[in-house]
Each structure stands twice: as C-alpha cells, then as structure tokens.
Amino acid sequence: MRYCKSCIMPDTRPEIVFDENGVCDACLSHKKKESEVDWQARETEFLKILDRYRRSDGYYDCIVPVSGGKDSCYQAYTMKTKYGMNPLCVNFVPCEMTDVGQKNLVFLRDLGFDLLQIGSNRSIYRRMSKIGFERLGDCCWPEHIGIFTAPIRVAVNYKIPLVIWGENPQLEYGGPAAERESRTLRKGWLEEFQMLGYRISDLLNEGFSEKDLYPFLYPSDEELAQVGVTGLYLGYFTKWDGRRNMEHMVSLGWNRNPDGPCEGTYTDYENLDCKWVGGLHDYLKFLKYGYGRATDNACIDIRFGRMERLQGFKLAKQYEGSVPRRYLKDFLDFVSIDEASFFSTLDRFTNKYLFKRGSDGQLIRNEHGDVIKLDYGFEE
C-alpha cells in the first residue's frame, strides 16, 4: 500500500490513478479546479442552459435529488435562491432513516421546498440489502441504486426534464479521466461505478419480478427521450466545497449529528441520514481497501489546505477500523441475520493482506474484536 504524496489516499482505492510524482488524480483535479478552470465561463454556460428549462407557469422546472444532507440542501437552496429555479426535491428513503436525517428533511421543507419521498417496498428492500451485504460487501447497495434511479423515474413521470445532481464523484474523489470531465450523469456511470458490477437486472434471475424492482429500474431510453431528461452536476458549473456547503446550511438551521462525530470519522456532518451508510458501509470499505471515511474527509481537508497530511493520517488511524456498533442491532434485525453470520461476512470481505494475521493465517483481533491494520508507514 502506498499513499498519494499530496493527500493520504492509498492506492488500494478502486479506480485511483497516480501520476509520475505519486500524486492521485483527485488531488490533480482539485489543483485544476483551483487554478485552470474558468468558473465565470462555466456559470455563464450554466445560466444559458437553465434558461432553456426555466418556467413561469408555477410548475417545477428542475428536480434536485436530496438526502437531506448538507450538500443536497445546499444544491436545492442554490438552485432556488441563486439561480431562480423552482425545484421539486426528491428523496429516496434510505435503508433506515436516522432521527437527524428526518429532521433535516423537515428543515428543507421549512426552508421553502416541496419534497417528494419515494419509499420502496421494505420487504423487497430487505432482501436486496441482504444480497448487497452478503454478496457484494455493501449493505447500502439498494440505497445507492435508488438514489440515482428514483429521481430519474420522477423526472419521466412528472415530466420535469432537468435533474440537478451535486458533485461529480469522479472529479471530487478520483476516477477514470473520461468521467472526471463529465458534466452529465450517464446511465453507464451508474452501472459501472455504483452497482459494483452487479446489475439490478441480475435480480430478475433470482426470484425478483420487474414489479418488485420498479423504483430501482432506470427508465428506458425511449422514456428518457420523450421527456428529454438531462442530468447535470452543479459541481461542474460552480466550485464545490462540502465544508462551505455545511457551514452555509448550518447558518440556516441545518442539523449536524447531535451525537458528535459519525462512526468511523472525525466529522459530524456527513452521511447522517441512513443508520448504516456512515458506519457499516464505510467499515466494509475499510476492510476491503484499508481506508474509510476519516481518510476521505481528511483528503478533502488536506486538498483545501485546512489540514496537514500528518494530522490527517493520525485522525484516520484514530477513527477508522472499529466495528460500528451504534446501529448494529438494527442492521441485524433489518436483514434477519445473527451476529455470528454478520462477523463471518465481514471476514469474507476483509483483504487479508492489509491486516495482521497469526502464524495460522487467521486474522488477529484486538481486545475490542477489531482487526488490526498493518502499518505501512507514513512518508512526509
């Protein structure tokens, strides 16, 4: 394992690319955004596009998919107050919503937005979560699909062609170069990056019917063409900064996590809406790739010059790597498995080369039952 020389992202991150100086593509994109991009020109271009969709008859002229998080609230607020649009906010209900997640959706409505919630059939959802956890090592697999399909389904059915996404994840966090410069969200992206190679249509061969999967099925090309659905990343047209978004929303009444830092990281303002996207989902990532949410957060703070690499490295070491227990029982109940089967699934997804093992090859655990990451050393 080696780390980016500019941030602390390890090369185990899927899709990451390092340049000849050992700097990751996310850091390079960040520098480019700071220096090369003509933001004025991009905003002018954005305004021109918006004018094509703007309506004056009172109907919604764009959709903003929202989790209730700092970024999506900021997106909705920006579209309305800065660009004068009339968005319909669409929320795909996550696996299990937290109290603070619920509060922040109410905050959004208090802020002056209409909210449409798509809550899918929970018996189907549980089965999908279980498949996601046991087969893909991603407990939030259906959530990540629904977040991207449900707003598009609403766009088609409500005939609201413009969908405004937030950041381009490949640009902010690294990924193939072709995707980094993209300003639109394609269906191909969804299948390649979000579904972990396991397609929703694969479920049709496993006892699920099309009716069961309706909210998770991307509309057909014909349906999309009929309405002219276009998805744009706000983060392509205006400079993105998650912390600025958070501070702005907090000043308007948005709620940070009342329990302090989220499990697995040092921040209290990310992934607050779902009971296990912040904890278990990120912990599975840690077991697979040796890094978790604290690393993600630190990399962003380092790129913005708000933190030194060494401090980020220490924070990652301090916060990552503990089995998230806050909502463990809720999760076991949700997918109907016992603790032994939970831990054996974790073991199956643990990259054994990244963690300490005994002479018998078995993973060694500390007094809390956590596996111990090997020390790869940190170079200044």
Interaction of residue 171 with Zn ion, rule CB under 5 A: no
Least distance CB 191 / Zn ion (angstroms): 26
**Pattern of binders to Zn ion over 217-256, x per CB under 5 A?**
----------------------------------------
Structure letter (DSSP) for residue 299: H
Q: Determine, following the binding rule CB under 5 A, whether residue 75 of this chain makes contact with Zn ion.
A: no
The least distance separating Zn ion from the CB of residue 4, rounded to whole angstroms, comes to 3
Query: Per rule CB under 5 A, is residue 6 in the interface with Zn ion?
Result: yes
Is the separation of the CB atoms in 257 and 272 below 8 Å? Answer: yes
Candidates 4, 124, 150, 277; binder of Zn ion (CB under 5 A) is 4
- As given in the structure block, the two tokens for residue 305 are 């010059």
Which of 13, 281 has the CB closer to Zn ion? 13
Q: How far apart are CA 233 and CA 231, in angstroms?
A: 7
The encoded tokens of residue 29 equal 């994109």
Site string for Zn ion, 15-54 (x = CB under 5 A): ---------x--x---------------------------
Q: How many residues bind Zn ion (CB under 5 A)?
A: 6
What is the chain's Cα-based Rg? 21
For the bound state, the minimum distance from the C-beta of residue 243 to Zn ion, rounded and expressed in Å, comes to 17
Give me the sheet containing 162-165, strands edge to edge. 114-118, 87-92, 62-65, 162-165, 230-233
Closest to Zn ion by CB, 151 vs 169, is 169
Helix (H) or strand (E) holding 202: none
Unique residue bearing structure tokens 């380092």: 302
Cα–Cα dist 235/182, whole Å:
10
Query: Is 7 near Zn ion (CB under 5 A)?
Result: yes
* Stretch of 2-10, 71-79, 119-127, 188-196 lying at the interface with Zn ion (CB under 5 A): 2-10
Between CA 300 and CA 295 the distance in angstroms is: 9
Minimum CB–partner distance for residue 301 and Zn ion (Å): 12
Smallest separation, CB 343 to Zn ion (Å): 33
Please tell me the distance from the alpha carbon of residue 212 to that of residue 218, in angstroms, as a whole number. Answer: 13
CB-based closest residue to Zn ion: 4
170 binds Zn ion (CB under 5 A): no
Which positions ≥6 away from 175 have C-beta within 8 Å?
Answer: 15, 16, 25, 169, 193
Smaller CB separation from Zn ion, 29 or 267 = 29
Quote the CA–CA distance of 137 and 26 in Å, as a whole number: 25
300: contact with Zn ion by CB under 5 A: no
| CB of residue 118 to Zn ion, shortest distance in Å | 36
Nearest CA to 93 out of 121, 133, 113 is that of 121
Instruction: Write out the residues near Zn ion by the rule CB under 5 A.
Output: 4, 6-7, 9, 24, 27
